[in-house]
Amino acid sequence: MSKILKIAIVGTGGIANGKHMPSLATLDNVEQVAFVDIIEDKAKLAAKEYGTPDAKVYTDYREMLKDPSIDVVQVCTPNDAHADIAIAALEAGKHVMSEKPMAKTAADAKRMLDASIKTGKKLTVGYNNRFRPDSQHLKKVVDAGTLGEIYFAKAHAIRRRAVPTWGVFLDEEKQGGGPLIDIGTHALDLTLWMMNNYEPKSVMGASYHKLSQRENAANAWGPWDPKKFTVEDSAFGFITMKNGATIILESSWALNTLNVDEAKCSLSGTEGGADMIGGLRINGEQHSRLYTQEVDLKAGGVAFYSGKTENDSTLEARMWIDAILNDTDPVVLPQQAFIVSQILEAIYDSAKSGKAIYFD
């Protein structure tokens, strides 16, 4: 009989209910056996819907970690709690998936990485946009050398008016920032992964609080409370890599623009280019003529599971569990997620100081 992994969910709020628990529920080689939340009723509801008949409920993750039968911990809490929970779980002998970003600060992300290396337990971060069909196909295009050397890229995370007004999204103390660390982190991770370039040299950043203090503002989820809006409404970064490549990162929850794209990237290489604007497009030059190729993503499967019709979150969960069972590297390596956190923090630091941040 193949091993059934026993999983604990820490934090049973929006991201756990919207992604982790329903995705894990589609797998036949896992059981969700423990649910932790500081609000006990939320954990009980999660256990009733997704748990095994004997699933346990906790309000303190430390108590849950005493259970030696638990194999995997999924950390779905606000950003400021990721590191302490993940490190304690790793040290307790559990494999860990942390929601994005890896941590509130780069220092905390480094502590998580170090704990994973020290314990030998697997650690990954929930960058599920890598698992979309367009991302999977573009990664194969890039890895085949079709674009040549990618020396310029844009990471897109722009919303016109879509400020999350629930939970702690607007609380800088809990989250560490606003759209940059929330959705900009997805776009940056996707871009670095496509380029396979994790060696930043310097960063210039700018952040803005231009629309956050408006009363009764138009917003997808209703007006925000300006008094609670303590994070930036927009942030932008110019990133130079050690090999000379440059990346422009744009992120916003509220910006007067019609050019909106989230968790997308545009790539320019020596042999061709690609973007995810309105679908996946590959461009280049062939026989002295320019071409643009629009990729049909409706047919066929994905890179890892040809023929399956899983969504990105389900594929993310399956690949994570397979990495544990087969003792292979997870798709999202903690070393990669740490670099993302370093760059995000450098953008914030540069925005505050008005100076470039150098990594050496």
List, for residues 241-286, the tens digit of each pLDDT value. 999 999 999 999 999 999 999 999 999 999 999 999 999 999 999 9
Residue-level pLDDT at 306 = 47
List, for residues 172-184, the tens digit of each pLDDT value. 999 999 999 999 9
Tokens linked to 129? 């946009």
SS3 readout for the chain = CCCCEEEEEECCCHHHHHHHHHHHCCCCCEEEEEEECCCHHHHHHHHHHHCCCCCEEECCHHHHCCCCCCCEEEECCCHHHHHHHHHHHHHCCCEEEECCCCCCCHHHHHHHHHHHHHHCCCEEECCHHHHCHHHHHHHHHHHCCCCCCEEEEEEEEECCECCCCCCCCCCHHHHCCCHHHHHHHHHHHHHHHHHCCCCEEEEEEEEECCCCCCCCCCCCCCCCCCCCCCCCCEEEEEEEECCCCEEEEEEECECCCCCCEEEEEEEEECCEEEECCCCCEEEEEECCEEEEEECCCCCCCCCCCCCCCCCHHHHHHHHHHHHHHHCCCCCCCHHHHHHHHHHHHHHHHHHHHCCCEECC
- What is the rounded average pLDDT for all residues in the chain? 95
52-56, 152-156, 236-240, 302-306: range with lowest mean pLDDT? 302-306
Residue-level pLDDT at 302 = 52
pLDDT at residue 108 above 70? yes
Beta bridge partners of 286: 289
pTM listed for this prediction: 0.95
Residue-level pLDDT at 1 = 41
Name the region of 93 (left: φ>0; alpha: ψ -120 to 50; beta: rest). left
What is the torsional sign of CA 34, 38, 39, 42?
negative
Residue-level pLDDT at 32 = 98
List, for residues 168-225, the tens digit of each pLDDT value. 999 999 999 999 999 999 999 999 999 999 999 999 999 999 999 999 999 999 999 9
For the segment 319-335, the average pLDDT, to the nearest whole number, is: 98
Phi, psi of 263 (to 5 degrees): 55, 50
